[in-house]
C-alpha cells in the first residue's frame, strides 16, 4: 500500500528538521510557512491550502492574502483574514496574521479547496479602503479589476462611492489611480 503525503506539509505531518532537509535535497519547496512536494504546482489551490492551515475553519482570506492566493501578489508579511461578525473565533495573537470581524455576504466569497476567499471585486474594495502601508496597492487593484472583467471597475466604484463608506475618499482615489480615471466628486 502506497501512502501519499498531502499537497501542503507542516510540522504536524513530519518533523520540521526532516521537512527542511527534504527542501535542501530539492524534494520540497517552501510555500509560506509550509512545504510542498516539488511535483505540486504553486497554484491557487496549494496557496489556499497553506493559508487554511494558519486559521480556524470559519476564517475568510481577504485583501493581500486573497491576492496572494489568486497569484497576483507576493506573499504578505502578515496574512489578512476576516470572520463574520459574531463568529466567535478565538485566535492566539500572532505577528504572522491579522484577523478582523466584518460583514461578508456569501456572494462576496468563493471556496478554494475548502478555504473561503474574497472574490476579486470584494478584494478590490477592501484593498482600496484598508491598504497595507508596506505595499503599493494601486497596481494590484488594477490587476484585480482586470480579473473582475468588464464592468468590474464601475461596480467597485459604486461600492466605494457611498456616503457611509469609511475611508471613502482614499478608496476613490486609489480606484481612480488604478484605472486612470478622474476622481469623482465627493459632494454627497
Of 81, 67, 74, which Cα lies nearest the Cα of 116? Answer: 81
CA–CA separation, 96 vs 82, rounded Å? 14
What pLDDT sits at residue 187?
A: 45
- Assigned C-alpha cell, 51: 493559508
Mean pLDDT of the chain: 88
On whether the CB atoms of residues 87 and 110 are closer than 8 A, the answer is no
pLDDT top residue among 181 and 178: 178
pLDDT band at residue 133 using 50, 70 and 90 as cut-offs: confident
* Centroid of chain to Cα 68: 6
pLDDT at 2: 59
| pLDDT over 70, % of the chain | 95
What does the pLDDT look like over 22-72, one tens digit per residue?
999 999 999 988 999 999 999 999 999 999 999 988 999 999 999 999 999
Q: What is the mean pLDDT of residues 102-116?
A: 94
Amino acid at each position: 500500500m502506497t501512502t501519499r503525503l498531502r499537497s501542503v506539509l507542516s510540522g504536524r505531518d513530519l518533523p520540521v528538521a526532516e521537512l527542511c532537509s527534504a527542501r535542501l535535497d530539492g524534494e520540497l519547496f517552501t510555500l509560506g510557512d509550509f512545504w510542498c512536494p516539488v511535483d505540486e504546482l504553486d497554484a491557487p489551490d496549494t496557496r489556499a491550502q497553506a493559508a487554511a492551515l494558519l486559521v480556524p475553519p470559519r476564517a475568510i482570506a481577504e485583501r493581500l492574502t486573497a491576492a496572494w492566493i489568486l497569484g497576483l501578489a507576493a506573499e504578505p508579511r502578515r496574512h489578512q483574514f476576516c470572520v463574520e461578525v459574531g463568529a466567535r473565533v478565538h485566535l492566539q495573537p500572532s505577528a504572522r496574521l491579522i484577523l478582523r470581524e466584518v460583514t461578508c455576504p456569501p456572494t462576496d466569497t468563493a471556496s478554494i479547496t475548502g478555504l473561503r476567499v474574497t472574490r476579486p471585486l470584494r478584494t478590490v474594495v477592501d484593498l482600496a479602503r484598508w491598504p497595507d502601508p508596506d505595499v503599493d496597492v494601486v497596481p494590484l487593484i488594477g490587476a484585480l479589476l482586470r480579473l473582475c472583467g468588464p464592468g468590474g471597475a464601475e461596480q467597485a466604484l459604486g461600492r466605494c462611492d457611498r456616503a457611509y463608506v469609511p475611508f471613502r475618499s482614499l478608496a476613490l482615489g486609489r480606484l481612480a489611480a488604478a484605472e486612470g480615471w478622474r476622481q469623482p466628486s465627493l459632494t454627497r
